[in-house]
Amino acid sequence: MSVHTTVRFDSQGTACDAWHFPGQSEGEGDAFAAPAGRPVVVMAHGLAGTKDSGLEPFARRLADAGLDVLAFDYRGFGASEGSPRQRVSMADQLADYRAAMTAAAALPGVDPSRIVLWGVSLAGGHVIAAAAGRDDVAAVVSLTPLVDGIAAGRHALKSHKPSAILRSTAAGVRSKVASGRGKAAVTMPVVGRPGELAALTLDGLYEDYLSIAGPTWVNEVDAAVGLELGGHRPGKLAAQVTCPMLVQVADFDRSAPPHAAMKAAFKGRAEVRHYPCDHFDVWPGKQWFDAVVEHQVRFLQRHLGAS
């Protein structure tokens, strides 16, 4: 089993914290062996997530298959530095991904020409945007991605009362105004139970999220996150991704609209895998985790294997 080490890298003047899992060189790992080094997977979490909240089992499985992995925390989250804390900025997180790519390419034993971008949920959209228009990305893995904030808003209306969405929006507007005046942001829980004010409140999501939550995770996010999501449309950039791409869709996803993920996959000429489950059912300890990781390994073996 791969043992990770801690790596720190700079993103626009902020120190981000990451874990490096070296690829294993025995058995199945030989599929990726090459004189120039091993491929490296750059991995980050979704909405307000931290690397110690469910990413490690994915990273270990990929490392055991022979791939190096760099899993990192965005600025302002987890073990990374940065202020304000718990604020989701799409532009900042995309910049953090690009800085992580530079750091990953410099790791010992890594082939800098075989960088893989791996993202889940909100990060499933980030990896599409980060790969678009670049020729230094060898493959993209996008798991249950949120690729269209407008579509996500419409999707949410199917399972949330309008009053709940209005409350969240009002909190976001108050936070935006407060931040603009130099005051503390208005925050709310990342996940709550139905009827509570939180970013995620669907039945069962509170228990699902807390089941993977690590010690650095904080159940708090700047309430302006909903306003950020409104302009988040990385799916439009999918046609500019020229490397092989795997999009893994949860067909009954209540959080990230599957139809939007499919639209982006079509634009990006991606390989698509479907799973008859909800958003969190692909995570460690859930029914579809093993299948999801196996499909990722096989996809990367086909496109990045040394043979």
3-state secondary structure labels for all residues of the chain: CCCCEEEEEEECCEEEEEEEECCCCCHHHHHHCCCCCEEEEEEECCCCCCCCCCHHHHHHHHHHCCCEEEEECCCCCCCCCCCCCCCCCHHHHHHHHHHHHHHHHCCCCEEEEEEEEEEECHHHHHHHHHHCCCCCCCEEEEECCCCCHHHHHHHHHCCCCHHHHHHHHHHHHHHHHHHHCCCCCCEECCECCCCCCCCECCCCHHHHHHHHCCCCCCCCEECCHHHHHHCCCHHHHHHHCCCCEEEEEECCCCCCCHHHHHHHHHHCCCEEEEECCCHHHHCCCCCCHHHHHHHHHHHHHHHHCCC
Instruction: Provide the pLDDT for residue 291.
Output: 98
Q: Give dist(CA 287, CA 112) in Å, integer.
A: 34
Instruction: Provide the pLDDT for residue 3.
Output: 82
Residue 253: closest CA among 229, 274, 269, 272: 274
Full-model pTM: 0.93
Report strand pairing: 139-143 vs 5-11.
Answer: unpaired
CATH of the domain at 116: 3.40.50.1820
Residues lower than pLDDT 50 in the chain: 28-29
Instruction: Provide the pLDDT for residue 159.
Output: 55
Residue 233, Cβ neighbours under 10 Å: how many?
19
Q: Is residue 269 part of a domain?
A: yes
Q: Give dist(CA 241, CA 267) in Å, integer.
A: 9
Show contacts of 164-170: CB within 8 Å, 24+ apart: 164/195, 164/197, 164/201, 167/197, 168/197, 168/199, 168/223, 168/226, 169/226, 169/227
Q: Is residue 97 part of a domain?
A: yes
Q: Is residue 260 part of a domain?
A: yes
Q: Is residue 108 part of a domain?
A: yes
Q: Is residue 92 part of a domain?
A: yes
Q: Is residue 200 part of a domain?
A: no
Q: What is the domain range of residue 238?
A: 5-149+233-304
How far from 32 is each of 19, 26, 59, 178, 297, CA to CA, in Å? 20, 10, 16, 50, 11
Q: Is residue 161 part of a domain?
A: no
Token look-up 């089993």 returns 1
Q: Is residue 165 part of a domain?
A: no
Q: Count structural domains, the chain.
A: 1
Instruction: Provide the pLDDT for residue 29.
Output: 47
